Structure formats: structure tokens, C-alpha cells
Amino acid sequence: DQQVKQNSPSLSVQEGRISILNCDYTNSMFDYFLWYKKYPAEGPTFLISISSIKDKNEDGRFTVFLNKSAKHLSLHIVPSQPGDSAVYFCAARETGNQFYFGTGTSLTVIP
Amino acid sequence: KAGVTQTPRYLIKTRGQQVTLSCSPISGHRSVSWYQQTPGQGLQFLFEYFSETQRNKGNFPGRFSGRQFSNSRSEMNVSTLELGDSALYLCASSLASGGPVEQFFGPGTRLTVL
């Protein structure tokens, strides 16, 4: 049972534009969320997190939005750069339990 | 500070054999989690160890086991390997277990079962 879903396997965006990656979850008890970026042959790299007491968190070009009522979070990358091309994973957990990961979205930023 | 290290990076085994993978967490991190990544399946949680105790366990058969040592280093073992065990095995460490703390991943061990 996939508790965290990333329904878009891939996304292409022009350099300089905004990239929006989406993630849906089913467990309303999830209270901490992460985004990771993964390049081929490397482990995932932590990008940004958000706890359920917030609805937005920013770090430079990366902003994560959390909509608890819709059980939806999104990652915005502005402006997108070619080096952002990678697979992006969202993850969620309920305090005390394991992280559940989505299947990933492959982002391609076109120069 | 050194990152999470995993050894070996690549491994080829045959069906029926067993394998042991090793993970050294970031210094000071006491929680180690293991994940299996296969194409199209994302990261599937195997288990988490904190202070040498298993805290959480995913839905994998008993052929998959792990342990953590007093220095927080962790090993996972897969016995009686099957072709479907071919995957990237990732280890992640964090300062604490279960709370709002991020996990930091190692580069993974690519296991191929022939």
C-alpha cells in the first residue's frame, strides 16, 4: 500500500522557469515531510523539510508547501537550473515510525 | 565531517548465497535505517536501528536482517539470495530516531544476484 505517491514520473522545464513537483499522501498522522534529490549512482541528498505545524518552508531557490487538508505537498524550484536535473523523492513519517517514500519524479531542466 | 559510507559499493552474488552489507553513519548519529531501491518502486524501508536496538521494521521477509554495533555502525544481511533481491541498498543515518530529523544517505551498495 503506497502511502506516499508521486503521480508524475517525469517533468521537463525550461531553464529559469519554475519547477513544481507534487506529492500526495494518505496517512493523516504524518507530521514530518522531506524532499530529496538523487543523481544516478549516488545516494539521495536531503533538500528541504517541513513539519505539519507549518504550511511553507523556504531555503534559497527551494520552497516546500504543505496542504494538510488535501494531504498534499509540493516542492517549488525557482529559478530552475540545468544542475537541478535529477530524480526527486518526497518522504513522510509519523513521529516514532518509519519514513515512507514516493516513487520519485525525474526532473529535466532544459537549457 | 565525513558522510555516510557504505561498503562494498558493488556486489555480485548467485542465487542461494548470502550477503552482508556494511554502513558507517555520520559521526554522532545514532540512528541507521536501511532501504531497498528497485526501478519504479522508490525506496522501500527495511529496518531502523537506534542504540543497537531495532526500532522499526518494514515488510520484508525474515531473510533480511540487520544489526547495529555500539559504535553505531550497522550491517544488514540477506540470506538465501533470490533474483528479485537485485537492487540498490541504501543506508541513512540521523541524529535521533523517530522525530523531525532528516536522514542523510550513503551512496548505496548495488547488489546483483545472478
Contact A43 B98 (CB under 8 A): no
What type of residue is A97? N
Whether the CA torsion B58, B32, A105, B114 is positive or negative: it is negative
Could you tell me how many helices (H) and strands (E) chain B has, helices first?
Answer: 0, 11
Tell me, yes or no, if A41 comes closer than 8 A to chain B by beta carbon: yes
Output DSSP code: residue A82: G
Give residue-wise pLDDT tens across range B8-62.
999 999 999 999 999 999 999 999 999 999 887 789 999 999 999 999 999 999 9
Give residue-wise pLDDT tens across range B67-107.
999 999 999 999 999 999 999 999 999 987 777 788 999 99
pLDDT value of position B1 = 66
Is the CB of residue B95 less than 8 Å from the CB of residue B103?
no
Contact B103 A46 (CB under 8 A): yes
B48 to chain A: which residues are within 8 Å by CB?
A: 98
Give residue-wise pLDDT tens across range A36-55.
999 988 899 999 999 999 99
Contact B56 A97 (CB under 8 A): yes
Contact A49 B102 (CB under 8 A): yes
Calculate the average pLDDT of chain A: 95
Compute the nearest-CA separation of A10 from chain B (Å). 12
Give the residue from chain B lying closest to A46, CA to CA. Answer: B104
Report residue A78 as a C-alpha cell: 525557482
Report residue A37 as a C-alpha cell: 534529490
Q: What share of chain B is helix, strand, coil (3-state, %, to 5)?
A: 5, 55, 45
pLDDT value of position B101 = 83
What type of residue is A23? C
Omega of the bond leading into B8 within 30 degrees of 0 (cis)? yes
